[in-house]
């Protein structure tokens, strides 16, 4: 017996198209940050990540009850976890350069994986597990 209840609301096509467009903008911004985080010396400004964060926070309420809602949650959780992990492993850079670099590479690859997985699901118009 499945006790999970998912509330679905009727949404017009224009709203879904708008959510789709904003979702792709956010995913592309996250992808830029994720790729440049893996490449040494190519880090982009934190402003790009903040723009994606603002988009996700502002548009998240519009997506409630649609498959897009899982994507907003997915991107926000990915960014928050990556940020926390970067902060927690930052002292490794101060104490030992190599472990800090390795830790940040692993975090960046994980972040890149999450963004690409979300983009693939969005392209298929599928929700993500959250």
Q: Is 109 left (phi over 0), alpha (psi -120 to 50) or beta?
A: alpha
How high does pLDDT run on average in the chain? 85
- Cβ atoms within 10 Å of 44's Cβ, excluding its own: 13
Average pLDDT over residues 4-29: 80
What are 69-106's pLDDT values in tens digits?
Answer: 999 999 999 999 988 998 898 888 788 778 888 888 89
Cα–Cα distance measured from residue 107 to residue 83, given in angstroms and rounded to the nearest whole number? 9
What is the rounded average pLDDT of the residues 37-51? Answer: 77
Residue 27: partners with Cβ closer than 8 Å, 6 or more residues away = 75, 115, 118, 119, 122
């Amino acid at each position: 017996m499945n006790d999970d209840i998912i509330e679905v609301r009727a949404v017009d096509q224009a709203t879904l198209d708008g959510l789709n467009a904003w979702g792709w903008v956010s995913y592309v911004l996250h992808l830029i940050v994720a790729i440049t985080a893996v490449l040494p010396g190519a880090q982009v400004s934190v402003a790009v990540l903040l723009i994606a964060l603002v988009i996700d926070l502002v548009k998240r309420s519009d997506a409630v009850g649609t498959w897009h809602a899982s994507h907003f949650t997915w991107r926000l959780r990915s960014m928050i976890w990556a940020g926390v992990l970067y902060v927690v492993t930052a002292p490794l850079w101060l104490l030992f350069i190599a472990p800090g670099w390795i830790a940040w590479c692993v975090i960046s690859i994980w972040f890149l994986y999450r963004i690409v997985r979300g983009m693939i699901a969005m392209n298929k118009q599928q929700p993500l597990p959250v």
